[in-house]
Structure 1
Amino acid sequence: MAGGNATTLLDAKTLVKTRALMGNALRQICRVSALALILGSMAMVPVTVQAQPRAGHAKAAVAPKPDAKPAKASPRRQKSAEGARRAAEAENTNGFNIDGRRVRVDVVKAETDMLGPDGRAPAVLILHGAHGLGDGSLFYPQAKALAERGITAFVVHYFDGIPQARKAAPTLHDERERVIAEAVSYVSKQAYVDAERIGVFGLSLGGFHALSLGSRDQRIQAVVNVVGAMPSEVQRRGVHRMPPTLVMHGDRDATVPVRRAYELASLLGEIGAEHEVKIYKGEGHTFRGDAKEDSITRTVDFFERHLGGDRGLLDKELEIDIALAPVVPETEMLPIRELTIADEALWAMAEQGNSQPGN
């Protein structure tokens, strides 16, 4: 009996040890299996590791995906003309519609005590250049100066009527001129405007349009052109009439060369149009300082003479000094049709930023 009990106890201890060893082995197998499952799932999911740049080293550019859309370029930030508009006390009008597009028009009305007996005043349309109004400093002060001398000024946002992106493109000349002609009609219908006394002031691209419109629109009674010129295509078609015209230009203008002003003076002389020319020495495509102030004063004086209520009496009783174009060497004074500075080249230069802001 005793021997049998000893044998039984020995078998029990062996069984316990065997079960313990089997349990440890099973747990090890489970751990290995779990680890294998985890590693297998990680292999199925792509992992992107983004390396961080070291200090002092630029971050490497990430190549775009083949089907990725190109990033949109940020639009060029336009300067605000709101400050200049408020300073000139310009009012927003209802403007007018053309082909379903609203064209904004700001007005600076003539001083009340300078209106005629019928409550109406002469009017001048102000046309901006290829870069729009810019900060407004080249246009609203001019409008204010006109209003202080009894002439109502309208600043026309004529680009509003052009749906194309490159609104100053030479190919859109006729479209822009149609908008400006509609602006003349709008101004002439205002109850406080004398439709028989309307002038146009244009700077750069606006000057080109002021001259072009004045050559064919009988409603325009006076034109002031600042650093613009007669469009080449208009010259090719033929110019046979122009109202009294003031031409102002800088002799260092790299966008619209000063010889375009000489060319214009020659044309005005040939057709017998009354004109004045002022060339500012040392000035470029934008007048500054004393030249800018002088150009504003000359503009007001010119329109007052030719649009004022006593314009007929002034013409008869006062001796008005009409400045002629400067003498130009014969080598430069070629016939007009042979001066072929393409307007397209001027606009290309302007769009590349060679011209001053606001032109």
Structure 2
Amino acid sequence: MTAFDHPEFDGHEQVLFCHDGAAGLRAIVAVHDTTLGPAVGGCRMHPYATTAEALADVLRLSRGMTFKNAVAGLPLGGGKAVIVGDPAAPGKDVLLRAFGRHVQALGGRYWTSIDVGVHPHDADVIAEECAYVIGRAAQYPGGENPSHMTSLGGLAGIRAAVAHTMLRDDLRGVRVAVQGLGNTGRELCRLLHDEGADLVVADIDDQAVRDVVHSFGAGAVPPDLIHEQDVDVFAPCALGGVLNDDTIPQLKARIVCGLANNQLRHPHHGAVLREAGITYVPDYVVNAGGMIGVAALVNGSPDRPAERRRVLALHNTVLTVLRRADTENRPTSEIADAMARERIAHSRSTW
């Protein structure tokens, strides 16, 4: 099967298979759409079992970046990259430098950044060979990085969903189940705890769970049971595909609003959630905070207070999606896609 025939292919402008035999690099860069600006999206490092699995991931993720940037009102297109490899294995820096050379060859058509398995210090390594990388540790001397902004957007999204669904303007006593305690998941827990929410958490990393339980008074459950908890909000913050035929019937939460990418196993699961009476906040809408935080690094100089205000304004974007879904009686996932495509089409019409 070629990229053109792949079920996740969505008119992508470019799909590049990158190889460096000396470094052992196998990577894929997918540029989905550059109508609104240069394609921007992180690089994910993961030990994919097959090339087909890696291709499916990068095609879906890059399309999601186009929609994320469009709905967030950013002057950026969508792209993504995946590196086939274990981020914990020796030789990571060699792979990252080789990957950086491939991105550099694109001349700014695609800007890469951090993602699962690629952290701000890794982005610094990529920058040794590439000018088109953002989210570097060196760009955040105070320690705050795009993952913090992503979590802040998650808080804004949960506030909006709770206001819309539960008719509440605060989170005191709201029960939230957080799946995944990486950088964004843990920071989301801190923000929710500060707002007075009650937390239940799960992660495959036992130490991460113990840390959150100790720091924020959370309850802990096994990872395979977190989605079944009797809570108000389920917040997926791990890998994608968690909302599917098996898990959706087991949900007890009234709201699903989390930071993981590609939470719907298949597009029709957005409709399944709506039919079940569950308010779903599309993942690429609520997790756009990180991109808002780094957009200025592509187009200008950072202004941290202004970026935080724009991230918190995702509250209004989420409300717009939820209210339009109710008005049109359509799944929120379809509404968010439509809003993104409308902005892109409008931009094309003004060329």
Question: Bigger radius of gyration, 1 or 2?
Answer: 1
What TM-score range do you get, normalising by the shorter chain? 0.3 to 0.5
Which structure: greater helix fraction?
2
